[in-house]
Amino acid sequence: MSDFKPFDAEFEARVRAFITGMPITRLLGLELARLGPGSSELVLPYREELSQGGGIFQAGVIGALADIAGGAAAGTLLPSGQVLMTVDYTVKLVAPGAGERLIARGEVAKPGHSLTVTSANVFASKEGRERLCAVALVTTMAIDLPKARRPDAGT
């Protein structure tokens, strides 16, 4: 589907360093499973702390996962020296987030110099079977990395 061209060969290492370096990534226990040009796959193992109770991932956690998956996919098409900021995301919860893990797949719908729109689907994986639990659209804006910041300090 996506035949996007990244700016350079370092896109994967750059996005991986960024995502894995975010403190929120560690708090959630988020894993970056796969990156391609314009696409991403993230995995979030279930822990009770991420739930609203009853073994169900809380909706805001599912939305946060979709946001990060969208940002990761969009980030693969960024040139070095730019970072992303989410400006908008919409998430529709279509089934309870019940399972051993959530899997979020981001796919750039339309890249842009300033704004990039990405769709992200979130699946709940239970006993080896995936079930769609949320669909999302994420808009990110590219901003120039402040020179004073460390490469991993952005968004």
Q: Which is nearer to its own copies, 43 or 137 (CB)?
A: 137
Longest dimension (CA), the chain: 47
Q: Angle at the Cα of 41 (from 113 to 95), degrees rounded to 5?
A: 110
Least gap, CB of 147 to its own copies (angstroms)? 14
What string marks each residue from 47 to 66 as x (binds its own copies by CB under 8 A) or -? -xxxxxxx-x-xxxx-xxxx
Nearest to 106 by CA among 60, 75, 150, 146: 75
Please choose, out of 8-16, 31-39, 88-96, 122-130, the segment that lies near its own copies by the rule CB under 8 A: 88-96
CA contacts within 13 A on the Cβ side of 43: 12
**Three-state DSSP class for residue 81:** coil
What residues make contact with its own copies under the rule CB under 8 A?
A: 21-24, 26-27, 48-54, 56, 58-61, 63-68, 71, 85-96, 109-110, 112, 114-115, 117, 119, 121, 132, 135, 137, 139, 141, 149, 152-155
